[in-house]
Chains A and B, each alone.
Chain A
Amino acid sequence: MSFLLECPRCGSRPVDEFAYFGEVTRRPKGSASLRELTEYVYFRDNVAGVQREWWQHRTGCGEWFLAERDTRTNEVLAIHLPQPERAQAGGAE
């Protein structure tokens, strides 16, 4: 694996500079059934196609961001900065 990934800050860099943090998951709010919890904690879609996932430019600027990557080709179609929950909710939950 040697593809280049676009850091939102530093530009195109070798993928080994980044830490991969897996698919974007949905965390249950409040309480969750065992099934919901298990799905959130352990189940992954593992798609052969475009997937939204977390990355951090670990040995670079340290920024966390989201990438849309085609898992078949490693082509990264888009990157964006995360929208924190609290910003989305207007500062309160």
Chain B
Amino acid sequence: MRLPPQPRERIDRSQRILFTFDGKVVGGYAGDTIGSALFAHGQRIFSRSFKYHRPRGLLCCSGHCPNCLMTVDGVPNVRVCVEPIRDGAVVEPQNVWGSLERDVLSITDKIGGPFTPVGFYYRTMIRPRRLWPVYEKVLRNLAGLGRLRKDGAGHTRYDVEHRRARVLVVGGGEAGRAAALAAAALGPDVVLVDETADLVGHELEGVEVLAPARALGIWEGGLVPVVAGSVLHRFRAERIVVAAGALDQPLVFPGNDLVGVMLPGGVRRLVRDFAIAPGSRAVVIAAGEEDLEIAGELREVGVAVPEVVDLTSTPARRIEAHGRKGRVAAVSVDGRKVDCDLVVASAGRQPAYSLLAQAGARVEYDESRGIFVPTNLPAGVEAVGSVTGEDCVTVDPVRTTKGAGGDKCFVCVCEDVTTKDIARAIDEGFDSIELAKRYTTVTMGPCQGKLCQLASIRLYAQATGVGEAAVGTTTARPPWAPVELGVLAGRHFEPARRTSVHFRHEEAGARMMWAGPWKRPYAYGERPEDEVRAVHDSLGVIDVSTLGKILVEGPEAADLLERLYPNRFGDLRPGRIRYGVLTSDAGRIMDDGTVARLADDLYYVTTTSTGADSVTAWFEWWNAVWGYDAEIVNVTGALAALNLAGPRAREALGRLVDDPDVVSAESFRYLDAKALVVAGVPCLALRIGFVGELGYELHFPSPAGEHVWDRLVAEGARPFGLEPQRVLRLEKGHIIVGQDTDSESNLLSAGMQWLPKMDKDDFVGKLALEHFAERPERERLVGFRMEEDVLPVEGAQIVVEGRPAGRVTSARRSEAVGGVIGLAWLPPDRAEEGTRFEVRVDRRLVGARVAHGPFYDPAGERMRA
């Protein structure tokens, strides 16, 4: 039912729009919200309350309160009072067992009182602990707001748009519009954000209007995230003007949540914007002149207003609402009962200061007007209009806390917190407003304190006998407006680093896994041991493009590396390679790799697969401190790297170079670095032996990755993945930094006493190593063999004489060695060759013995072949 056309109505009566509500077709007009169309259709109960399942109807009708939360097109918790109507929308009530009119769970309202006191979930259902899953399931069904679709249907693409504005105005009321126009007169890049659809289609000269859209907060650097649909606009604004307006404050009295008790702003919207009479017989109880005027407006559209109560003139009146089936039927004012179906009740208007408080403004209580006002605005942030306190005044919102009818007085309709709950919390000693918030959850519901903060502060002030100013406000935190988590999460974007050979691995059926930021092949089949065997017996190839690759070039490159590494690189001859370990000044092992000297002033450093960026930054930082004439250039991505390994490696490589003699045992020795052209591609070939067999690491331009890979595979090299490589390296006793070492490991305890050159003047970590050498060792990294064929997990506990004494860092089954081998940290007095200890495997203890040196080819003849 609509009123005759209203002068400022926003509906277009020529355009009928249909949607379904709870399975039934409902019609409205273009310009309606889903909520206004439902109300016009006769719907009065819009939701059931959070805890007591009491019927609730439109209250603020401005998108603030929780009373109209519904599921629209599968999206839960949509405030239908501001959600624009659209054809074919599927609207469903939520948090209901049965129907909105008859919700089975409303029984909690009748009998639940004693059982659901304030903070009940903190103190009930603690014991017995094993029943918790049952409680949880029951609670989840009883409480909560809406349901997500588990099938993920209706998934939305969330995106971020980065915006700049000279002036960003938040709030499109009169003051906001004026501020925007004034700013636009002075220059470009003025944006006005408004949460309603009111300004859609309005022209504001020189102003970009973003609506409906909600500002979530104000962060440092003028950052204001604004949600518009499924896009988060991250504004960086030079100047921010907050024109967020003021908020109608509900009165607290028995039955104040009955359907038909409304705030003046909501009543006005229904009449003015949507041409709907909110009731037929209204009682107006308000404080300010503006709010009292609503009586006249209602009469104009034919609503009887038998009673108007001005709270400013007679502040101490007792009020109580009486309901029938959850809807207001009468209201008593000082004992005099007036029949009505609408109560317009308001304590006045409170500035919506939250955004300003988040930005750093102070919030002070203005005793004379009974409102909290923002002061001391930070630089670059301004406030205009009612948010400054202009035209705002409130009276004591707490009218009556006990009625003859015994109905509840709600302070917070979001979380169903009553005056009784607040009183009880104070009795229990939760005597500060911040504690009250956490204990009673007042201000923590969907309205985030918009409608309940003032009332709860007043109750605290009255009960504790201090003033409102002393009680203070709770901290204003973002988000100021409700927002979907998806919008905050944004686009799902977790980019993987992929080598230039990546798709060859996928095509070969490799199982890809995350290795730090990279995607790498775990293995190419179900049997990694076959890949291990291929490397030992014949030929394998592994993509090691993920290795960090850094060029260090300059006349002082050698000096820089001498100081970065514990071992020596100044005496390394061009064309030769040396293993290097990086330590921090705390003596901690940070990364390892090979260092090849390519020329007197040029080194090629490799790092672990996860170390490229951090080692580059580490080198650059030290050189920012020291200032050596040397460039540090990270060429990790520019180069692919393939390790060709196995007894047939030389022969295969020989067929891919112009002259096989260049790779002969004499001309290309172990730990040589050499320029080769392999299959027509210029390569840096490093002869190293991480996997323990004759091997060549080929480094060459990334775009040729697939080509060189294909040619090596065509020469009979079997692709092997990370898992076989882990077995191969463990057989050689090679450590993996970060797996076998941790933040406590140093070169001495990790068994690399031979590496640091303590006679060097300085290197990073030297000071710490000097002290480590003087202190008794706590533990040592050693190899071990299991006595039985059982595989301990990495991290398995080592037990000596019934006490925990160490841990396993790596363990694998090795065919070549014949048994289970691994690396472990042990007390130094247990680190002797052959010492027995026990490892916890699947709840039993299995014997193992310390085994020093490589398990496989201890003399290294195979890799030096």
Contact = CB atoms under 8 A, between A and B. Distances in A.
Given A2-B219, A37-B771, A41-B768, A82 B586 contact: no
Contacts of A2: 219-221, 223
A82 B223 contact: no
Contacts of A51: none
Nearest to B623: A84
B586 A41 contact: yes
A19 B617 contact: yes
Contacts of B223: 2, 14
B621 A54 contact: yes
Contacts of A34: 771
Contacts of A31: 767, 770
B626 A85 contact: yes
A49 interface: no
Contacts of B585: 27, 40-41
A27 to B, nearest CB: 7
Nearest to A81: B624
A34 B236 CA distance: 48
Contacts of A4: 220-221
Given A37-B768, A41-B768, A62-B620, A85 B627 contact: yes
User: Which secondary structure characterizes the binding site on chain B?
Assistant: helix
Contacts of A82: 624-625
A81 to B, nearest CB: 8
Given A4-B221, A41-B585, A41-B586, A85 B625 contact: yes
Contacts of A87: 627
Given A14-B221, A37-B767, A74-B220, A84 B627 contact: yes
Contacts, number: 54
B668 interface: no
B21 interface: no
Given A3-B220, A58-B617, A32 B767 contact: yes
A3 B236 CA distance: 11
Nearest to B584: A41
A47 interface: no
B586 A3 contact: no
Interface in B218-237: 219-221, 223, 236
Nearest to B162: A14
Contact of B625 (A58, A62, A84): A84
A78 interface: no
B768 A86 contact: no
Contacts of B365: none
A91 to B, nearest CB: 9
B621 A84 contact: no
A10 to B, nearest CB: 15
B628 A86 contact: yes
A56 B625 CA distance: 13
Nearest to B218: A2
A48 interface: no
Interface centre among B220, B236, B617, B626 (most CB of A within 10 A): B220
Contacts of B220: 1-4, 74
Contact of B624 (A19, A32, A58, A64): A64
Contacts of B617: 19, 56, 58
Interface in A48-86: 54, 56, 58, 62, 64, 74, 82, 84-86
B767 A28 contact: yes
Interface centre among A2, A40, A62, A74 (most CB of B within 10 A): A2
Interface string B624-648: 1111100000000000000000000
Interface string B751-788: 00000000000000001101100000000000000000
Contacts of A86: 626-628
A82 B220 CA distance: 27
Contacts of A14: 221, 223, 236
Interface in A1-50: 1-4, 14-15, 19, 21, 27-28, 31-32, 34, 37, 40-42
B495 to A, nearest CB: 13
Interface string B574-603: 000000000001100000000000000000
9 contacts: A2-B220, A2-B223, A37-B767, A37-B771, A54-B621, A64-B620, A64-B621, A84-B624, A85-B627
Interface of A: 1-4, 14-15, 19, 21, 27-28, 31-32, 34, 37, 40-42, 54, 56, 58, 62, 64, 74, 82, 84-87
List the 10 shortest-distance A-B pairs measured between CB atoms, nearest first.
A84-B627, A3-B220, A2-B219, A4-B221, A64-B624, A86-B627, A2-B223, A41-B586, A3-B221, A82-B624
Interface of B: 219-221, 223, 236, 585-586, 617, 620-621, 623-628, 767-768, 770-771
